[in-house]
């Protein structure tokens, strides 16, 4: 077609124009563009994914008049943009065109000046490049003859939105890191001040930063979730996981139903927001946020402090530790954290104290081994005087693996469900605790024995009193029974016997005299 277009023949020029027009029309209704096609803002051209779920085209955000190339959900009226190509390089008018050229570079051009506004970085080349918008929202540049050969994809260069199927993390071979960066405002999608990424230093955890400052850290991945992400649980909507190997580390999630729309956005204010589309209400529903509360703020209670939103104050020191600045602690300034009452003495043999139900500390300075047992982990930490704590690495199927910490422990909170961690303590502190437990056990034993003995004596006394009472009342009862029997044994006399005995009631046999006469 280029050869035809170079001819000055009128017929050939008309054919060229027809072919170009046909080519442009196909770009507007297709999910692909090739080297002979363009997307023009002036004609409102768009790419549509194969199911029509997502679209790519030109748009203006909010109240802005600037023009950007973006990807959005096609069947949602309120245009929800999930990726922007030229976020830091806006067009000021509708002169933009998007095209793909050999050897596979995607270009955004100012059609009036032919100036390059934005281009995609590529690490390999192909002779027949093709750009395709997938139903996942991923814009890929592939070899037209082998579409499995992806030389560039938008999922490797996200803006502020983490979509299902995207891999957020770092490739150790290429050094490329995939992370989110917030927009400046609803009207300006330019790179803002916040980032959300998987921090591969130490053992991986997710991090939100405000510039170079850490705003919050999730805690290390424990085989089930990030240890501090108590709202990230198994559900019927999506699955999630962290992949760690020698070549890469990345966090991902996958929808269990393709008809569901879900996205994770880093807002302009630095808040991670997971949104779920409701077909019933035709609105985005907020699924959860990061941070969720004040205890998610990085190291809000300082070193060896633990946060709990249900207590007042919300910061306390771990058992056996005390505030480094009691006065500041009393004024709700917990930043200085806590310290040990008794310094560690590795040469004399420190021990470990178990703490349960906690978010594991920041793992920036840590070491891990997936094959060690918890007992082997304890031994490894004991032998290294710089090791301050240890815990199981994976709790997805019981407890396995080993995670060691070096340096002060920060960014802990009480959480349910939480994990167990074993923190290094001076031997004397553990012995003191052991002696206190022994004293408590002995004291409780004495109290229990005393109470039982008292109850036994009281019972014996009650039984004895009842027996004595029975003995005292026994003779009286026998006497009354005897008298009754005697009364019942008196002889019964008839009148003839009485006359004979008294000699016909002779006066000589008179016994006495009463109110009724002589007897």
DSSP string covering 256-284, please? SSTT--EEEEE-TTS-EEEEEEETTTTEE
Are 157 and 163 in contact by the 8 Å Cβ rule? The answer is no
* pTM (2 d.p.): 0.79
Q: How far apart are CA 440 and CA 57, in angstroms?
A: 74
Domains of the chain, CATH where assigned: 1-157 (2.90.10.10), 158-292 (2.90.10), 316-425 (3.50.4.10)
DSSP string, 292-333: -SGGGSTTTT-TTEEE-TTSSSSEEEPTTEEES-HHHHHTT-
User: Per DSSP, what are the bridge partners of residue 471?
Assistant: none
List the beta strands (DSSP E) in 341-386. 351-358, 366-369
Asked if residues 206 and 196 have their Cβ atoms less than 8 Å apart, the reply is yes
Q: Is 227 helix (H, G, I), strand (E, B) or coil?
A: coil
- Would you state the pLDDT for residue 1? 38
The one-digit pLDDT tens for each residue of the chain (519 residues) are 333 343 344 434 343 433 344 444 444 569 999 999 999 999 999 999 999 999 999 999 999 999 999 999 999 988 999 999 999 999 999 999 999 999 999 999 999 999 999 999 888 889 899 999 999 999 999 999 999 999 999 999 999 999 999 999 999 999 999 999 999 999 999 999 999 999 999 999 999 999 999 999 999 999 999 999 988 889 999 999 999 999 999 999 999 998 999 999 999 999 999 999 999 999 999 999 999 999 999 999 999 999 999 999 999 999 999 999 999 888 889 999 999 999 999 988 899 999 999 999 999 999 999 999 999 999 999 999 999 999 999 999 999 999 999 999 999 999 988 999 999 999 988 875 444 444 445 446 555 656 677 676 667 767 666 655 555 555 544 544 444 444 444 455 555 555 666 665 555 555 555 444 555
Q: Is 411 left (phi over 0), alpha (psi -120 to 50) or beta?
A: left
């Amino acid at each position: 077609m280029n050869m035809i277009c170079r001819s000055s023949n009128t017929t050939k020029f008309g054919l060229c124009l027809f072919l170009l027009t046909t080519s442009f029309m196909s770009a507007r209704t297709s999910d692909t563009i090739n080297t002979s096609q363009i997307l023009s803002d002036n004609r409102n051209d768009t790419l549509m994914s194969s199911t029509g779920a997502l679209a790519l085209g030109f748009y203006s955000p909010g109240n802005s008049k600037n023009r950007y190339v973006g990807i959005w959900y096609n069947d949602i009226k309120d245009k929800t943009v999930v990726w922007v190509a030229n976020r830091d390089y806006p067009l000021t008018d509708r002169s933009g065109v998007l095209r793909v050229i050999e050897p596979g570079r995607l270009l955004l051009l100012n059609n009036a000046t032919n100036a390059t506004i934005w281009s995609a970085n590529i690490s390999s080349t192909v002779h027949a490049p093709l750009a395709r918008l997938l139903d996942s929202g991923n814009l890929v540049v592939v070899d037209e003859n082998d579409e499995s050969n992806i030389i560039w994809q938008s999922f490797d260069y996200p803006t502020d939105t983490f979509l299902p199927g995207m891999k957020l993390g770092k490739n150790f071979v290429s050094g490329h890191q995939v992370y989110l960066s917030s927009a400046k405002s609803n009207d300006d999608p330019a790179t803002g001040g916040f980032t959300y990424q998987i921090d591969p230093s130490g053992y991986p955890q997710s991090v939100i930063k405000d510039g170079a400052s850490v705003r919050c850290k999730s805690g290390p991945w424990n085989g089930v979730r990030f240890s501090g992400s108590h709202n990230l649980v198994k559900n019927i909507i999506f699955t999630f996981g962290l992949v760690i190997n020698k070549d890469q580390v990345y966090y991902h999630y996958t929808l269990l139903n393709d008809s569901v729309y879900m996205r994770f956005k880093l807002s302009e204010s630095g808040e991670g927001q997971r949104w779920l589309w409701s077909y019933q209400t035709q609105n985005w529903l907020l699924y959860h946020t990061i941070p969720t509360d004040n205890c998610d703020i990085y190291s809000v209670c300082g070193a060896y402090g633990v946060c709990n939103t249900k207590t007042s104050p919300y910061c306390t020191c771990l058992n056996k530790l005390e505030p480094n600045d009691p006065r500041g602690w009393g004024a709700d300034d917990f930043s200085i954290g806590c310290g040990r009452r008794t310094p560690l003495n590795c040469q004399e043999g420190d021990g470990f104290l178990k703490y349960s139900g906690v978010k594991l500390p920041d793992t920036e300075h840590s070491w891990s081994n997936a094959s060690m047992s918890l007992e082997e982990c304890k031994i490894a930490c004991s032998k290294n005087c710089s090791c301050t704590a240890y815990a199981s690495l994976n709790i997805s199927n019981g407890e396995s693996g080993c995670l060691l910490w070096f340096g002060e422990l920060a960014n802990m909170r009480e959480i349910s469900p939480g994990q167990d961690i074993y923190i290094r303590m001076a031997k004397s502190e553990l012995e003191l605790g052991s002696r206190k437990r022994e004293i408590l056990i002995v004291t409780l034993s004495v109290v229990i024995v005393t109470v039982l003995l008292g109850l036994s004596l009281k019972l014996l006394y009650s039984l004895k009193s009842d027996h004595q009472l029975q003995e005292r009342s026994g003779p009286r009862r026998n006497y009354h029974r005897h008298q009754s029997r005697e009364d019942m044994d008196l002889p019964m006399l008839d009148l003839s016997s009485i006359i004979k005995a008294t000699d016909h009631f002779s006066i000589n046999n008179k016994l006495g005299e009463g109110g009724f006469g002589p007897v």
